[in-house]
Structure 1
């Protein structure tokens, strides 16, 4: 495949061939600009520039219209039954996601695809660079390679869940990647699993808390790889492996559930396993920039069905929802991240947190029939419910009932967060229609006049189809 040659390859060549650091990356690592004219073969022959290359891989995840910069939370929320726009003045880019009218030529789709593959390109560049380095120690090479594998796996996890079959690019060689075909989801998942297994085996257990260049848990660790691997196993219905991996994260002793709900999304939250550090001055999380009102009413509100699904007394209502009463209707909007742009340094984009590990273990346990006991599905659910100040569930519940409680808890715990609801609905079976997904069931109620099953996947960008005749379009799109 072509990595969006005009937009990606040139920027990467600039990155590798001249200054290495993008301007935003200078806030990530404090090393001087390398000499002009430096070539890629030299990048990993110097410890500082090698660190800069790895830092740039992270920083690029927080630049532009990235799936990893809050936009997945917004667009997946609009696609599902989670978010609604509050006025017609909201960005025109939202319309296709709200009206179920996405097209292959949509500029947002084009950009998100391109930006995701640009991050994969950077990860591949790090893997190739450290492999050929003669200046880095073996331990540092292994560590950096583990970080690159984690980043590549994270990117491909979202790509395969959003677009379905995608090209699997494992090299920076343009001649090798320009005409790659789309591969079955299972083959992409297998590479994701391989990358995460290798990352979990080679990454450090924890980072030094004295490293002032990075916030806590803003570089990949063994636990980050394991937490993401637990999610991947869950999506693959490998219940035993998902349970085992989530349990290792939970029992590691490195993370604890934040008691105060208002502190869950702070950069020093005790339950954060992996987070992305902002690279723009005065900027915090992508979600805060997208969801918090600046003037007037908030641009997005949670849907009535989401709000009404919250149980009476659920403390997450007050802690994680903002309330706007300035108009004729009361609006409730995502308020998990509370630091608006300008209030720098309070919050980062949290990618993986301990609560998810508990819910993964609960779901895997329920599927395995492990309902009761101190580490059974019901006990894990009650940990989440207890923090939300909700009544605990009784251990007399049957398997089907426990699974439905898990569906509900994931909906409330992860709303407006990394597209969890959208992806969950696609992987859960419908209760009403044999062979259909829960997404089909929900969306026929939420948007009955516009919803069609093919909308579960987004279209392959039109420009990619024109550049690579080995690609095919997802059914239903033109």
Structure 2
């Protein structure tokens, strides 16, 4: 029975992703199926089971870079985007309802990938037909993906259930685990991934996680946990790999396999990134544009990022600024993948971690790596006697202008710094402090009576 269940989970997840299935966990296993040994019979088939997860991410809402992705909805929830679509207005006005279908996808699809990972880990453990090198790589990737999914679940929804095996009958009624427990599981998975993976990109492209991807997410996780020493440690590990990673020119950052990219998601067949398709305006906006206040006030004078990364479209209805980090809206010539982790963030993580430890000179040096590329004067030149609070404020501002329109960084930065209400309440008429967490979907609460709703919903 366990073999039947395992194969069903792996094959069923693929079907579920393709059909936008919302109630995967409620489907019963089929009466007959292939054995786990057949699915994990050799390196090639086992690898396909793992890489299928990344295809699912490219096609599914939360990780796709499209209009229902974390990048899109969190940009609307923060102060980055204007909204032009009725399906997204609840995010823009921070008036979310638990029945919102996008909320359902943001919650359910990461769990779909988590269950796939759990099934794969069990299948790899039972298989005798996979080489040691491939087994280590695939197990490392699986642990990384589970940590990645839980990182976004805990930051979007707060405490969430920990599901660590593929038997949904055991885990479907799990209560919400405290945030601290979720973070500890993220760290445990990433430490395992770091141990199992190497710095090599096994596909030849930067679309399957390697050791540096695990270290990059460890650095971010420790930053969010306020463990400044470990955040500095892991960011330094990534930055030190200068033979693999470097800061490249502003127009080269988001080109596939650029030296700045740590991990990216290969887009759907015959397309470039969904971010480019969503953001680049060639007509009146259908979904989002940049807030006028962001484009006009966030950047310092002479900041090259405003020219390189902000586009404008004007017609008879008005003038609209848009994120222009990705340069291709639509083309069958594939030149851009969806960038998830890149080196600039690691410099900003280390700058903040060092500033929090009162290592102000070292922190300013890291910050100036980013400022130099943007054509700005070094912070230590313009503020020779900068103190810790001023430096942290400068780092926060640099994160805003460097990481805008990427993976919800601004939304999460406001939340973890305690500045959401101060920044967003003047912009959002119905803002409440409890809006920093999204609601748990109604379907999940109806299905699992051990789960309670977030405050304010």
Q: Same fold (TM over 0.5)?
A: yes
CA distance in 2, matches of 1:14, 1:109: 23
- Asked if residue 354 in structure 1 is aligned to residue 343 in structure 2, the reply is yes
The residue matched to 2:263 in structure 1 has which SS? Answer: strand
1:54-69, aligned counterparts within 5 Å?
Answer: 54-69=50-65
- Structure 1 residues 165-180: aligned runs within 5 Å: 165-180=159-174
- 1:40-94 CA deviation, whole Å, 9 max, x = no partner? 3421122221111011122111112124544111100000111112x4xx2x210
Shift of 1:343: 3.6
Structure 1 gap segments, 5+ residues each: 1-8, 25-35, 429-436
In structure 2, do the counterparts of structure 1 residues 22 and 104 end up closer, same or farther at CA, with 3 Å as the change threshold? closer
Q: Which has the higher helix share?
A: 2
2:312 is paired with a residue of what secondary structure? strand
Matches of 1:313 and 1:17 in 2, distance apart?
52
Shift of 1:10: 10
Q: Mark the CA change 1:347 to 1:424 in structure 2 (over 3 Å): closer, same or farther.
A: same
Aligned to 1:191: 185
Matched with 1:267 is 256
Show the counterpart of 1:5: none
Q: Say which SS state the counterpart of residue 440 (structure 2) adopts.
A: coil
Note if 1:40 corresponds to 2:36.
yes
TM value normalised by structure 2? 0.90
In the alignment, which residue of structure 1 is the partner of 2:81?
A: 83
Give the Cα separation in 1 of the matches to 2:38 and 2:420: 49
State which drifts further: 288-297 or 332-341: 288-297
Structure 2 equivalent of residue 325 of structure 1 = 314
2:375 match: secondary structure: coil
Q: Deviations over 1:12-61 (max 9, x none)?
A: 8274379999889xxxxxxxxxxx95333421122221111011122111
Describe how 1:347-426 pairs up with structure 2 within 5 A. 347-372=336-361, 376-394=362-380, 395-426=384-415
Contact 2:100–2:441 under 8 Å retained in 1: yes
Kindly state the Cα deviation for residue 242 of structure 1 after the two structures are TM-superposed. 0.5
- TM-score by structure 1 length? 0.87
Q: Cα distance 1:99–1:200, how it changes in 2: closer, same or farther (>3 A)?
A: same
Aligned with residue 432 of structure 2, among 432, 452, 463:
452
Is structure 2 residue 277 aligned with structure 1 residue 289?
Answer: yes
CA-CA distance at 1:296 after TM superposition: 3.6
CA pair 68-364 structure 1, distance change in 2 beyond 3 A: farther
Distance across 2 between alignment mates of 1:242 and 1:403: 15
Q: What is the CA distance between 1:266 and its match in structure 2?
A: 0.6
Root mean square deviation of aligned Cα:
2.3
State the Cα distance separating 1:269 from its structure 2 match.
Answer: 1.1
User: Does structure 1 residue 475 correspond to structure 2 residue 452?
Assistant: no
Kept in 1: contact 2:250–2:308 (CA 8 A): yes
After TM superposition, give the deviation of residue 371 of structure 1 in Å: 1.1
> Equivalent residue of 1:270, what SS?
coil
Alpha-carbon separation, structure 1, partners of 2:342 and 2:108: 27
Pairing partner for 1:13 from 8, 12, 18: 8
1:360-404: CA deviation from partner (whole Å, max 9, x where unpaired): 1100010001111xxx11111111111101121124211111100
The unaligned stretches of length 5 or more in structure 2 are 20-31
Match of 1:129 in 2: 123
* CA displacement, residues 150-206 of structure 1 (integer Å, 9 cap, x when unaligned): 001001000000000101001110111111110100000000000001111110211
User: In 2, Cα distance between the equivalents of 1:19 and 1:423?
Assistant: 30
Return closer, same or farther for 1:466/1:113 CA change in 2, 3 Å cut-off.
same
CA deviation after TM superposition for structure 1 residue 302, in Å: 1.3
